[in-house]
């Protein structure tokens, strides 16, 4: 299937992906949080599905800017199942997000990536993201 918008029933798979990002214990609020994000006009919660299995999740926010025309996009959570990494799934999801950002008139996309996530930083670098004081930024 590939990249699609998340649905409320995806929460168990999303919970597992958040666990892999070191965000355990989301059971008590995750379903409600997903509903909130799905209803928000400036949020796109994306999943990657293959053979009825969710292999990735990305939370993408669109943020209006005061000093520049347009918005910018922010990837705040992005996880691919450990056993599905290095198969192009992350790149497909990032390309989908980049296209959404362009359609919204964003001038850049940024991602928060903790310094301990060195493999993720390499991934973002290969896709054209550059380090900016505290963020990795990709000009669109």
CATH class of 2-139: alpha beta
Residue keyed to tokens 């053979």: 51
Residue keyed to tokens 């958040």: 18
Residue 31, Cβ neighbours under 10 Å: how many?
16
The model's pLDDT over 84-104, given as tens digits with 9 standing for 90+, comes to 888 999 899 999 999 999 999
Residue closest to 21 by CA, chosen among 94, 79, 91: 79
Residue 115 scores a pLDDT above 70: no
What distance in Å separates the CA atoms of residue 82 and residue 136, rounded to the nearest whole number?
22
Question: Using only C-alpha atoms, what is the Rg of the chain?
Answer: 15
pLDDT of residue 134: 61
Q: By the 8 A CB rule, do 130 and 138 touch?
A: yes
Tell me the pairing of strands 135-139 and 130-132. antiparallel
What are the residue ranges spanned by the domains of the chain? 2-139
pLDDT of residue 81: 93
In this prediction, residue 133 has a pLDDT band, given cuts at 50, 70 and 90, of: low
Q: By the 8 A CB rule, do 84 and 2 touch?
A: no
The pTM for the full model equals 0.82
8-state DSSP, 129: -
In this prediction, residue 38 has a pLDDT band, given cuts at 50, 70 and 90, of: very high
The model's pLDDT over 40-75, given as tens digits with 9 standing for 90+, comes to 999 999 999 999 999 999 999 999 988 888 899 999
Residue 135 scores a pLDDT above 60: no
């Amino acid at each position: 299937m590939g990249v699609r918008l998340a649905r409320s029933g995806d929460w168990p798979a999303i919970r597992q992906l958040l666990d892999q990002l070191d965000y355990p214990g989301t059971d008590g609020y995750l379903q409600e949080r997903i509903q909130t994000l799905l209803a928000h006009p400036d949020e796109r919660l994306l999943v990657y599905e293959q053979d009825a299995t969710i292999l990735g999740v990305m939370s993408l926010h669109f943020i209006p800017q005061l000093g520049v025309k347009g918005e910018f996009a922010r990837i705040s959570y992005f996880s691919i199942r450990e056993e599905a990494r290095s198969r192009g799934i992350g790149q497909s999801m990032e390309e989908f997000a980049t296209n959404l950002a362009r359609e919204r008139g964003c001038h850049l996309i940024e991602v928060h990536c903790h310094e301990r996530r060195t493999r993720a930083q390499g991934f973002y670098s290969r896709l054209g993201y550059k380090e900016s004081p505290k963020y990795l930024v990709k000009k669109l």
